[in-house]
Amino acid sequence: MFERILIANRGEIACRVIRTANRLGVEAVAVYSDADRDALHVALADRSVHIGPAPATESYLRADRIIEAALRSGAQAIHPGYGFLSENADFAEACVSAGLVFIGPPASAIRAMGAKHEALALMARHEVPTLPGYRGTDQSDEALMDAARSVGFPLIIKPSAGGGGKGMSIVHDEARLDKALASARRTARSAFGDETLMLERYLQRPRHVEVQVFADTHGNTVHLSERDCSSQRRHQKVVEEAPAPFLEAATRDGLHQAAINAARAVDYVGAGTIEFLLEDRPGGGFYFMEMNTRLQVEHPVTEKVMGLDLIEWQLRVAAGEQLPLSQEQLTPRGHAIEVRLYAENPAKRF
């Protein structure tokens, strides 16, 4: 186990990692910007390092400053939390190059799952169901229009490099496709710096179910049951529930196996989540949507029903240990629900 780790984050997730580190006897190093000098995570940590001004672009998103802080503090590893640099393959690579352990998956896995069109093609080759769609390299209007006719309507346009629902557009008929493609390109370019688009068949009112997976460096991969996060607003999850209710046994088993196949396809290590769309009907299919190559905000829901500390698992796996439990030893007990709070401004139409 590590003697000292640095947490490259702030707020709730930084406090969460510090609590587990303290319980395991691991020293926790916090980083902070000018705005967070008196924040709770700084007070809870064993030591702290200032990394820059208040804007995240000058502090929490500065990989060089975070790595410098880790080296200066004597930390052996960096926990990225969620958000900020947690899914940045270059950052994961830079940590390793600096002689630090990145508490997360290898950079190659982050990259493989980061480009959605490439990830979907990879999943299809590893027996993970995917929706009919277009993920081609020809991004001309003509190619996308032809592909849309082949996929059928309604369809959804997604930025390949996107996330969080940004830039997604539902198109119900061909007459609206031109404008929708142009709008999606603009959003993809401004939000993600990449205007590559992909098209998928749109499922009317699907369920959104995700499977928590964990893998170590010894070839072991397990699932930790699933979470239902179908209740959403503006493509953002509002309610998460574990285990997912009203799933047929065959569907549940299929989801778990598909998630493990997905993780193994990219030689995954650590905590990850595979997200699926389910047809909400008896015997309906399920389809891979994306993989989050980090610990998710809703991980406590899984912790409650599995009786585990996923941060502890992350630290043990990153330190080279085998997974603490085998698949046969993992059984969900009880039920857990998490409800998120969102701050919206009614004066600006929320």
* pLDDT at 280 (0 to 100): 87
Q: Of 79, 81, 59, which Cα lies nearest the Cα of 70? A: 79
* pLDDT at 183 (0 to 100): 92
* DSSP designation for 292: E
The class (CATH top level) of 4-103 is: alpha beta
In one letter, which amino acid is 167?
G
Residue ranges of the domains in the chain? 4-103, 132-201, 207-339
Tell whether the model's pLDDT for residue 163 goes beyond 80: no
Match 């000292």 to its residue by tokens: 4
The class (CATH top level) of 207-339 is: alpha beta
DSSP per position, 16-62: HHHHHHHHTT-EEEEEEEGGGTT-HHHHHSSEEEEEE-SSGGGTTT-
Q: Which residues contact 9 (CB under 8 A, 6 or more apart)?
A: 17, 31, 41, 60, 79, 80, 81, 82, 83, 84, 86
DSSP per position, 63-112: HHHHHHHHHHHT-SEEE--SSTTTT-HHHHHHHHHTT-EESS--HHHHHH
Q: What is the pTM of this model?
A: 0.89
Separation between Cα atoms, residue 63 and residue 52, nearest integer Å: 12
* DSSP designation for 130: B
* pLDDT at 350 (0 to 100): 82
* pLDDT at 181 (0 to 100): 95
Over residues 257-300, the pLDDT tens digits come to: 999 999 999 999 999 999 999 998 888 899 999 999 999 999 99
Separation between Cα atoms, residue 170 and residue 26, nearest integer Å: 48
* pLDDT at 204 (0 to 100): 87
- Buried/exposed code over 132-161 (b: 16+ C-beta within 10 A; e: otherwise): ebbbbeeeeeeebeebbeebeeebbbbbbb
Cross-strand bridge partners of residue 183: none
* pLDDT at 140 (0 to 100): 94
Burial of 268 (0-12, 13-18, 19+ CB in 10 A): buried
β-strand 27-33 against 4-7: which pairing, if any?
parallel
pLDDT above 90 as % of the chain: 89
Mean pLDDT of the chain: 95
Report the CATH number of the 132-201 domain.
3.30.1490.20
3-state DSSP assignment of residue 203:
coil
Over residues 187-202, the pLDDT tens digits come to: 999 888 899 999 999 9
pLDDT band per the 50, 70, 90 thresholds, residue 303: very high
φ and ψ of 145, to 5 deg: -65, -45
- Asked if 208 contacts 229 with a C-beta cutoff of 8 angstroms, the reply is yes
